[in-house]
Amino acid sequence: MSIADKIKSGDILTMSRLIRDIDDGMPEAEITLQKLFKHSGDSKILGITGLPGAGKSTLTSLLISYYRKQNKRVGVVAVDPTSPFSGGAILGDRIRMQEHNADSDVFIKSVATRGSFGGLSKSVVDIVRIMEAAGKDIIIIETVGVGQDEIDVVRLAGQVLVVTAPGLGDDIQAIKAGILEIADIFVVNKCDLVGAEKAASELKDAAEDNITGDLKPIVMTDSIHIKGIDELTESIDIGFDKFNNDNIKNEYLDRRYRYEIEYKVRDKLTETIRESFENDPVFKDILKAVRDKKMDPYTAVTKIMKNVKLT
């Protein structure tokens, strides 16, 4: 059986090894991904983002339980930050999802950002594809704890939950211009704590859709005492039902594939340019000319754009 066929049959060992190869940038993994492409695009992809400590992982665990009760197969990609100093990482999200460790229909993958800035790792888009091809009905992407600008998840997920918690005070202000805009549903978690109502009311401005004026759902949850989860899952289900409309589905797929292609092109270009500076005499001459003040960096950029060898 080929690797692609094994993945389509849901073979866990093959899936996890291929994901490892992708994370490690092994070029041969791409051949399998090409074969898997036509078996992807139909799963529900739910993004969960928000500040560190807001309760994203615990909430994810409750959502896994919800989908497992419906006998849905679940994939989770949980992203945690890579240390800029050692290159190491502690991947601690799945500690909150322990109860699913013995369930063979729940596949949880922890990944580190490895230098990516958008709140995801470079590999997430391909990991999602593998999970889709392996027949996961729902795939939950949990981003790193984010602040303002880490919004890549909105380009990949069909729906995004932005999770916050009371007591974060000014942080809500701080994120107003950034991730609040990408939410489909707002979650005020830890709603048993003082200030939950205030946190929810402060979100009302951001919850008004810029275009339609509709109010996006603001759901209060308490993951420890399991409150508000039914309301949350209902909002998520309503959100995914919209994808039964072909126009909405196509709009989403266009966004997703455009992001993926743009990201990959940019990645390859960055690598090509980096290599050219090391190996190509034309690039070296340009750099020397700038250093000697015979050329300005703006002209250098134009020249490099003309000389970059696209393969």
Please give the residue ranges that form the binding site for another protein (CB under 8 A): 12-13, 16-17, 19-20, 23-27, 82-83, 85-92, 94-95, 98, 101-102, 104, 107-110, 112, 114
Which residue, 102 or 211, is less far from another protein as judged by CB?
102
**Residue with token string 């134009």:** 302
Which residue, 26 or 215, is less far from another protein as judged by CB?
26
Shortest separation between residue 155's beta carbon and another protein, angstroms: 25
Shortest separation between residue 46's beta carbon and another protein, angstroms: 19
Which residue, 87 or 169, is less far from another protein as judged by CB?
87
Residue in 222, 282, 250 with CA at minimum distance from that of residue 55? 222
HSE, side-chain direction, 13 A CA sphere, residue 178: 19
Which residue, 107 or 263, is less far from another protein as judged by CB?
107
d(CA 266, CA 269): 5
Which residue, 105 or 231, is less far from another protein as judged by CB?
105
Contact 195, 166 (CB under 8 A): yes
Shortest separation between residue 103's beta carbon and another protein, angstroms: 9
- CB atoms closer than 10 angstroms to residue 240: 16
Which residue, 82 or 276, is less far from another protein as judged by CB?
82
Contact 38, 49 (CB under 8 A): no
Shortest separation between residue 106's beta carbon and another protein, angstroms: 9
Work out the burial of residue 303: count CB atoms within 10 Å of its CB; fewer than 13 is exposed, 13-18 middle, 19 or more buried: middle
d(CA 80, CA 66): 24
Q: 51 pairs with which residues across the strands?
A: none
Residue in 132, 152, 163, 126 with CA at minimum distance from that of residue 48? 163
Shortest separation between residue 226's beta carbon and another protein, angstroms: 19
Which residue, 57 or 235, is less far from another protein as judged by CB?
57
User: How far from 175 is each of 16, 45, 115, 153, CA to CA, in Å?
Assistant: 35, 23, 22, 16
Shortest separation between residue 61's beta carbon and another protein, angstroms: 11
Shortest separation between residue 298's beta carbon and another protein, angstroms: 35
